[in-house]
Amino acid sequence: MTTKTNQTNQFVNFINGEWIAAASKEKIVNYNPANNEEVVGEVAKSSVEDLDKAVHFAKSASKGWKDLSGAERGQYLYKAADIMERRLEEIAECMTREMGKTYPEAKGETARGVAILRYYAGEGMRAVGDVIPSTDSEALMFTTRVPLGVVGVITPWNFPVAIPIWKSAPALIYGNTIVLKPATEGAVTCAKVIECFAEAGLPKGVINMVTGPGSVIGQAIAEHPDVHGITFTGSNLVGKQIGHQALARGAKYQLEMGGKNPVIVTEDADLDLAVESTISGGLKSTGQKCTATSRVILLNGIYDKFKERLLEKVKDISVGDGMQEGSWMGPCVSERQLETVLHYIEKGKEESGKLLAGGKRLKDDDREKGYFVEPTVFEDVNSEMTIAQEEIFGPVLALMKVDSLEEALNLANDVEYGLSASIFTTNIQQMLSFIKDMDAGLVRINAESAGVELQAPFGGMKQSSSHSREQGQAAKEFFTSIKTVFVK
Ligand code: NAP
Ligand code: MG
């Protein structure tokens, strides 16, 4: 088992407890999106052969791992958490340099990773079944939960520490072994998470990481007959494809996908709180959160005041390298993502949205080598427009004006997604209507759309998810199968 920390950020695959190069020996080099001349690190460019090997060893490790007690498995997670906590700043810095979010946000995410590990470590000692009275008075009937076997974990780049952990930790604690395929754009950071597991000394083959193109490695995971469960977070396009492939061969799957999250602000709302939360929810992480606020639905009576205060604040946002103190918003993750954001901004203008702030790439001074874009605000946006319907994944807010809460709710629900939604109001009746009628997996009252707590279920409605839930106790549903036991 390797315990050495990799200081050079040159990683290969982690298979059966060893760091080994891809069969092809090929590599992928990742650059800093704040400065595209700076190399952050490298990972293996693997092929199906490498993936097959990882699945083979994950399968071999299954029996030994599931035969441990939950408490014993939990000890490994506690150890990994301690190691990660010790390396928090180094991991966070790597995250900022690899995918761009600011250093304070990256530290927050890494700390959350540590907390998730500890939460699931404790889970190894909690109940996994029920006793159900049998009609036979001499029998004992109960349920227990058993692992799926080998679980394939496919993750996105926007939370390169938290998402791999919130999938891997429950998978492991309930006795599954895993093959993780991180997003290429966050793979170096994720490799550091794997190092923490390696140093914690998990038995060989229990956790494996294979990096490489999603269309090759992700696809091979989805199709592999020995992968019994697939947990995916990413885009709708890829998620649906994985769902079809898993269904075709009878594997269990879980998909967490996009969002187009609204905030509603009513006339009696705490205006400062609503503006602060809209900015934080919409623009932190450069809008690259599945739960980011995107549509800002304002009641007529508060529209002008809200708009004025929002624009004042947006004007003051400092955009720059996330490692620089004072940068509030970092770059887009890649040139392609930047182009996507600029494309949507053009679309917004073409379709008669009125640009109130931002709209351009920032290329001055230190920023010319990065993928920086201005925080952008549109008004006069209606539901027919592309920027009101499609996920942008960038720092773009669309203001929409309505006359009543009913109209606001209709508008808020008038998209194919249903991940997260907020309302700002002090009126209890309005809160209750929102809780009842908003079609979203997370509804938040007087709080930004992008908040998630690790001990509560997380997931979306409509096209945002496969209707399964992650995190908290909900993770048990996906990562185990129920066995009903009858004893006489
Ligand atoms: P993505 O392009 O769908 O990629 C997600 C993962 O799938 C990556 O590891 C990717 O590998 C892999 N992949 C790509 N093509 C594949 C294929 N044909 N078969 C199997 N796997 C494949 O998404 P992304 O660009 O990384 O992330 C942004 C998206 O994630 C947004 O839509 C966002 O809303 C969503 N997201 C959702 C949540 C949530 O919980 N609901 C959280 C965060 C993000 P490569 O990186 O190598 O392409
Ligand atoms: Mg992608």
Summarised one tens digit per residue, pLDDT across range 106-124 is 999 999 999 999 999 999 9
Statement: residue 2 has pLDDT above 50: no
Query: 134 with 58, same domain?
Result: yes
pLDDT value of position 366? 87
In a domain, 41, yes or no: yes
pLDDT bin (cut points 50, 70, 90) of residue 380 is very high
Statement: residue 354 has pLDDT above 80: yes
pLDDT value of position 347? 98
Catalytic pick from 256, 379, 391, 448?
A: 256
Active site residue 94: no
Ligand 1 pocket, residue 79 CB under 6 Å:
no
User: Mean pLDDT, the chain, as a whole number?
Assistant: 97
Tokens of 248: 């075709």
Cα separations (Å) of 445 from 111, 197, 436, 449?
25, 37, 12, 9
- Rounded Cα distance, 69 and 121, in Å: 12
pLDDT value of position 3? 40
Candidates 43, 116, 155, 158: which one to mutate for ligand 1, based on the most atoms within 8 Å of Cβ?
158
Distance 237 CA to ligand 1 centre (A): 9
Distance 156 CA to ligand 2 centre (A): 7
Candidates 235, 254, 257: which one to mutate for ligand 1, based on the most atoms within 8 Å of Cβ?
235
- Rounded Cα distance, 375 and 282, in Å: 9
Residue nearest to atom 19 of ligand 1 (CA): 219
Distance 481 CA to ligand 2 centre (A): 31
In a domain, 110, yes or no: yes
Range of the domain at 42: 13-257+465-487
- Rounded Cα distance, 245 and 248, in Å: 5
Distance 219 CA to ligand 2 centre (A): 13
Residue 156: nearest ligand to its CA?
Answer: 1
Query: 274 with 150, same domain?
Result: no
Question: If 0-12 CB within 10 Å is exposed, 13-18 middle and 19+ buried, where does residue 469 land?
Answer: buried
- Give the residue-averaged pLDDT of 349-377: 97
Give 216's DSSP letter.
I
Query: 128 with 25, same domain?
Result: yes
pLDDT bin (cut points 50, 70, 90) of residue 324 is very high
pLDDT value of position 172? 99
Query: 41 with 24, same domain?
Result: yes
Distance 127 CA to ligand 2 centre (A): 38
Query: 297 with 149, same domain?
Result: no
Catalytic pick from 190, 196, 290, 332?
A: 290
Summarised one tens digit per residue, pLDDT across range 151-181 is 999 999 999 999 999 999 999 999 999 999 9
Residue nearest to atom 38 of ligand 1 (CA): 290
Domain CATH code at residue 289: 3.40.309.10
| Structural Rg of the chain based on CA atoms | 23
Give the residue from 42, 68, 81 showing the smallest Cα distance to 206: 68
Candidates 47, 184, 238: which one to mutate for ligand 1, based on the most atoms within 8 Å of Cβ?
238
Ligand 1 pocket, residue 158 CB under 6 Å:
yes
Ligand 1 pocket, residue 332 CB under 6 Å:
no
Query: 274 with 209, same domain?
Result: no
In a domain, 147, yes or no: yes
For 365-405, the DSSP string reads: GGGGGS-EE--EEEES--TTSHHHHS---SSEEEEEEESSH
Ligand 1 pocket, residue 400 CB under 6 Å:
no
Ligand 1 pocket, residue 214 CB under 6 Å:
yes
Query: 204 with 160, same domain?
Result: yes
Tokens of 91: 């991991």
Query: 18 with 102, same domain?
Result: yes
> Which atom of ligand 1 is closest in space to residue 465's alpha carbon?
41
Ligand 1 pocket, residue 13 CB under 6 Å:
no
pLDDT > 70 in the chain, percent? 99
Active site residue 93: no
- Rounded Cα distance, 214 and 390, in Å: 22
- φ and ψ of 205, to 5 deg: 85, -10
- Rounded Cα distance, 474 and 286, in Å: 29
> Which atom of ligand 1 is closest in space to residue 234's alpha carbon?
30
Indicate the pTM of the whole model: 0.97
Summarised one tens digit per residue, pLDDT across range 252-274 is 999 999 999 999 999 999 999 99
Number of domains in the chain: 2
In a domain, 317, yes or no: yes
Domain CATH code at residue 155: 3.40.605.10
In a domain, 107, yes or no: yes
- Rounded Cα distance, 474 and 27, in Å: 37
pLDDT bin (cut points 50, 70, 90) of residue 377 is very high
Query: 418 with 278, same domain?
Result: yes
Distance 217 CA to ligand 2 centre (A): 13
Query: 65 with 79, same domain?
Result: yes
Summarised one tens digit per residue, pLDDT across range 4-48 is 456 689 999 999 999 999 999 999 999 999 999 999 999 999 999
pLDDT value of position 5? 57
- Rounded Cα distance, 87 and 195, in Å: 10
- Give the residue-averaged pLDDT of 225-231: 98
CB 331 within 8 A of CB 100: yes
- Give the residue-averaged pLDDT of 358-370: 95
Summarised one tens digit per residue, pLDDT across range 121-150 is 999 999 999 999 999 999 999 999 999 999
Ligand 1 pocket, residue 238 CB under 6 Å:
yes
In a domain, 5, yes or no: no
pLDDT value of position 365? 84
pLDDT value of position 8? 86
Query: 471 with 389, same domain?
Result: no
CB 202 within 8 A of CB 15: no
Distance 239 CA to ligand 1 centre (A): 8
pLDDT bin (cut points 50, 70, 90) of residue 83 is very high
pLDDT > 90 in the chain, percent? 98
Distance 194 CA to ligand 2 centre (A): 21
Ligand 1 pocket, residue 234 CB under 6 Å:
yes
Residue 155: nearest ligand to its CA?
Answer: 1
- Give the residue-averaged pLDDT of 196-213: 98
pLDDT value of position 107? 98
- Give the residue-averaged pLDDT of 455-463: 98
Summarised one tens digit per residue, pLDDT across range 84-97 is 999 999 999 999 99
Query: 240 with 104, same domain?
Result: yes
- Rounded Cα distance, 198 and 204, in Å: 9
CB 357 within 8 A of CB 377: yes
In a domain, 460, yes or no: no
In a domain, 266, yes or no: yes
- φ and ψ of 101, to 5 deg: -65, 155
